[in-house]
Amino acid sequence: MSTLPSIKILTNSSLLFDVSHYREQHILATQKKLWALSQYCKNTNEFIDLVPGMNSLTLYLKSASNLHQWQNTLTKLWDEVDDYAFESQHHKIDTYYQGEDLNYVANYHKLTIDEVINLHSKEIYHVLFLGFVPGFPYLHGLNSQLFTPRRDNPRVSVPKGAIAIGADQTGIYPEDSPGGWHIIAHTDACLFDVTASNPCLFKPGDTLEFVPVKRSKQ
Amino acid sequence: MIKVIKPGIQLTIQDLGRVGFRHLGVSRSGSLDAYAHIIANRLVNNHDNDAVLELTVGLCELQFQCDTVIALHGADLNAKIDTQAVYPGWSYPVKAKQTLKFDTGHGGSRAYIAVKGGIECPEVMGSKSTDLGAAIGGFNGRALQSDDIIKITPYTQPWLCNKGALTPPKRKVIRLHQGPHHELLTPECINAFCTTSFTINPNSNRMGVRLDHNNSQIMQHSLSLHSLAVAPGSVQLPPDGNPIVLLNDAQTTGGYPLIGHVIEADLHQFAQFRTADSITFEFVTLEQATAAKSKLDAHLSQLKLSLNRYWTN
């Protein structure tokens, strides 16, 4: 990681901090630094929003007058920031592996259902960033043996709590939404609850694992 | 209280939006024409962020069940209180049982109704704005329907303010900050973008305005980017070459190249474009964008000053 980050002015009051030109194998290490950088910036109370993307962080300033100052200090901060300073939370997600497409995914990869469940549930996943709908985590860590092309016909409605695989990604649907991923499981975990003090279960940088459980009662 | 007789195409409760949650995937929402929103509130001496009603295209009918004062701003949709015509940029006392009715109009798409004291509803994640996608905020997270009852506090004192506010002209040239992905797009593409006249696609909504044009072949590409943050004002260029200007209800991250970002002073214009309206784009410097914003702010300050004498008496 010798190259410098690119810092671009988006508007009078927003900056794009971009390290997407870094080599692919550093995805997680890079993302950890971005979360730490985001946390540092948040603590200054000078930002309305700090939004991580894939190998980028977009910074929305409260005051346009600080734009150039931040533009000039971000590279230095990037060198100094300690990715271990970032405090993540680990989540265990009770998972019912009885998804509508579980058989399809197993057949596609010539695996047994138990092998699919094992491959999916043995990994620790990182929440790279959120988007699409409130609380939807883009996860890093899917075993390459489970990479599955998206469905040819997206479902009009994927139910809330569905756990699905699309290409090299896996994710959990926080609400009923259209979707083209293969549903392999379901969870009762609530990813987005506006009445809670922390409305979203996950924040960028959190880790999670899928814990296989049997449905004991309906 | 206000009873909805007819909501029209889309009637929602909006304040200036939900901020601080974009990293969790929560959109801003809020009035698309923030400028009209603020002026309407100032005309009835509300706080700028007080919730108002945003109505789309017209054909809406509301019945007041208590006395209050209202102000209209944004699109002129030929509104009447009972039989008396009322206009954007003015405040009007309303009596219980009177009806506010909107026809349609030619001067824009969205009208804003500020009610003295603001529209009342619970705050969700710090805002009263309706987020239609996430189904939160406003009136149970949805657009208003016939027979819904909107909560307001009655205002029965005499209303003496007779000052109005002008509606800013529509712009045909929208000013942009240069996007972060210019070097990935071809010079022909950028050049076509700057010289093409775009028309507003009917398939536009609170999430974004889609643009049609004749040069989409030149502007087509096959770039696929890592997802990055997007915001109201971001101009995406999907592979088909037809740009999308993202608005308040847009999702928080996306993977299309960003060709530009609408300057803050011009973003409210997109609330008012109608299908088949045509626009062009022009890239400006940070200084020009700041100057445009200052000009708008000065207009708002001037309005505040001229209204102040009514509120202090």
Task: Give the position of tokens 């009051």.
Answer: A13
Instruction: Tell whether A128 and A206 lie within a shared domain.
Output: yes
Instruction: Tell whether A67 and A112 lie within a shared domain.
Output: no
Instruction: Tell whether B133 and B15 lie within a shared domain.
Output: yes
Tell me whether residue A149 is in a domain. Answer: yes
Q: What percent of chain A has pLDDT over 70?
A: 95
Encode pLDDT of B107-117 as tens digits. Answer: 789 999 999 99
Interchain CB distance below 8 Å, A11 and B289? yes
Instruction: Tell whether B15 and B105 lie within a shared domain.
Output: yes
* B169-185 mean pLDDT: 94
Interchain CB distance below 8 Å, B23 and A50? yes
Instruction: Tell whether B9 and B137 lie within a shared domain.
Output: yes
Instruction: Tell whether B39 and B141 lie within a shared domain.
Output: yes
Tell me whether residue B159 is in a domain. Answer: no
Residue A59: CATH number of its domain: 3.30.1360.40
Tell me whether residue A218 is in a domain. Answer: no
Instruction: Tell whether A99 and A169 lie within a shared domain.
Output: yes
Residue B285: CATH number of its domain: 2.40.100.10
For residue A88, list chain B residues with Cβ-Cβ distance below 8 A: none
Instruction: Tell whether A61 and A102 lie within a shared domain.
Output: no
Final residue in a domain of this structure, among B119, B150, B181:
B150
What pLDDT does A74 receive? 95
Q: How many domains does chain B have?
A: 2
Question: Any chain A CB within 8 A of the CB of B115?
Answer: no
For residue A176, list chain B residues with Cβ-Cβ distance below 8 A: none
Instruction: Tell whether B140 and B188 lie within a shared domain.
Output: no
pLDDT of A2 > 50? The answer is no
Q: Which residue range(s) make up the domain with A22?
A: 6-85
Q: What percent of chain A has pLDDT over 90?
A: 69
* A93-102 mean pLDDT: 96
Encode pLDDT of B231-252 as tens digits. Answer: 999 999 999 999 999 999 999 9
- Residue from B127, B223, B227 whose CB has the most chain A CBs within 10 Å, to mutate: B227
Tell me whether residue A73 is in a domain. Answer: yes
Instruction: Tell whether B192 and B132 lie within a shared domain.
Output: no
For residue A58, list chain B residues with Cβ-Cβ distance below 8 A: 228-229, 231
Task: Chain B: give the shortest CA distance to residue A168, in Å.
Answer: 13
Encode pLDDT of A27-45 as tens digits. Answer: 888 888 999 999 999 999 9
Selecting from B22, B177, B179 the residue whose C-beta is nearest the C-beta of A51 gives B22
Final residue in a domain of this structure, among A85, A107, A127:
A85
Question: Any chain B CB within 8 A of the CB of A136?
Answer: yes
Task: Chain B: give the shortest CA distance to residue A198, in Å.
Answer: 9
Tell me whether residue B155 is in a domain. Answer: no
Q: How many domains does chain A have?
A: 2
Question: Any chain A CB within 8 A of the CB of B135?
Answer: yes
- Higher-confidence position of A21 and B83: B83
Instruction: Tell whether A108 and A205 lie within a shared domain.
Output: yes
Question: Any chain B CB within 8 A of the CB of A53?
Answer: yes
Lowest mean pLDDT: which of A19-23, A77-81, B11-15, B248-252? A19-23
Instruction: Tell whether A171 and A101 lie within a shared domain.
Output: yes
Interchain CB distance below 8 Å, A12 and B293? yes
Instruction: Tell whether A54 and A106 lie within a shared domain.
Output: no
Question: Any chain A CB within 8 A of the CB of B227?
Answer: yes
Encode pLDDT of B248-296 as tens digits. Answer: 999 999 889 999 999 999 999 999 999 989 999 999 999 999 999 999 9
Final residue in a domain of this structure, among B103, B135, B150:
B150
What pLDDT does B48 receive? 97
Q: Which residue range(s) make up the domain with B16?
A: 2-20+27-150
- What is the radius of gyration, based on Cα positions, of chain B? 20
Selecting from B25, B226, B228 the residue whose C-beta is nearest the C-beta of A134 gives B25
What pLDDT does B199 receive? 97
pLDDT of B297 > 50? The answer is yes
Task: For residue B177, give the chain A residue with the closest CA.
Answer: A11
pLDDT of B313 > 60? The answer is no
Residue B118: CATH number of its domain: 2.60.120
What pLDDT does A3 receive? 67
Instruction: Tell whether B43 and B109 lie within a shared domain.
Output: yes
Encode pLDDT of A119-146 as tens digits. Answer: 999 999 999 999 888 999 999 999 999 9
Final residue in a domain of this structure, among A85, A108, A130:
A85
Q: What is the mean pLDDT of chain A?
A: 91
Instruction: List, as ranges, residues 159-188 from B with C-beta within 8 Å of A.
Output: 177, 179-180
| Position A23 confidence tier, pLDDT thresholds 50, 70, 90 | low
Instruction: Tell whether A49 and A120 lie within a shared domain.
Output: no
Final residue in a domain of this structure, among B84, B118, B150:
B150
What pLDDT does A218 receive? 47
